[in-house]
Amino acid sequence: MARIGESPFRATDHDTEQRDFEGLPDGIYVFETIESKLDDTKDGKGKILKMTLSALEPEAFKGRRHWLNINIQNGNPQAQEIGQKELAALCRAVGVLEIKDSEELHFKAFTAKVAMGKPSKDLNADKTPKYPARPEIKRYFFPDEGDLPAADVVGSASNDNAGARAAPASTAATSTTSSGAPKANRPWGKKT
């Protein structure tokens, strides 16, 4: 037996709403990176930057997560080039043009277009894709080009993810202006 504390823990004192982490529907989002880590590739010959993003806008999807994996080093030169171009686009989108640590990208707002990707070409024994289609960032928008699009979700019958349930709005402060332009870093560090 483990004693919880001096006073009893009351479940009714806490929010017990559970979130469904379905992929985001197609649309334009304002995100911020809230976590990142560098892992080895499956073959151990490269490095993947794994990032957790949190949606800031549109309001109905505030707090929803999106996961991003970027090949930083890879034995396949084409995969490495694609990954490094994506990291460069992300850096430009947040206005940081040189980094030594991925945490330099944390809590900086950026605007991106999300759309459903393709399933993997690798098949399971039953001929189904080993990895199903999932939402992917298809484009980063750069503040230095001006005219950042407004955050907006596209709802259409062809969007397999159009019915994704929105998470409740977070009470935490955001790091973006209403136009999606980045504000200063959060001085208090990571969200919990």
| Per-residue pLDDT at 151 | 95
Q: Are strands 152-153 and 135-141 parallel, antiparallel or unpaired?
A: unpaired
More confident residue, 12 or 180: 12
Of the pLDDT bands very low, low, confident and very high (cuts 50, 70, 90), residue 109 is very high
Confidence band for 19, pLDDT divided at 50, 70 and 90:
low
- Side-chain-side CA neighbours of 46 within 13 Å: the count stands at 21
pLDDT at 146: 86
Mean pLDDT, range 76-81, rounded to an integer: 94
Q: How confident is the model at residue 2 (pLDDT cuts 50, 70, 90)?
A: confident
What tens digit of pLDDT does each residue of 155-191 get? 633 334 444 333 333 333 334 444 444 444 444 444 4
Distance CA 72, CA 84 (A): 6
Please tell me the pTM assigned to this model.
Answer: 0.69
CA-closest candidate to residue 74, choices 102, 99, 38: 38
Structure confidence at residue 173 (pLDDT): 36
- Are 157 and 52 within 8 A, CB to CB? no
Residue 78 has pLDDT above 50, yes or no: yes
Instruction: Work out the percent of the chain whose per-residue pLDDT is above 90.
Output: 55
Q: Are 50 and 172 in contact (CB under 8 A)?
A: no
Average of pLDDT values for 115-125? 88
Distances (CA, A) of 65 to 59, 87, 121, 135: 13, 19, 25, 11
Statement: residue 94 has pLDDT above 70: yes
Higher-confidence residue of 48 and 21: namely 48
- Region 31-40 average pLDDT: 96
Average pLDDT over residues 19-38: 89
Half-sphere exposure of 160 (CA within 13 A, CB side): 11
Average pLDDT, the chain: 81
Higher pLDDT, 173 or 151: 151
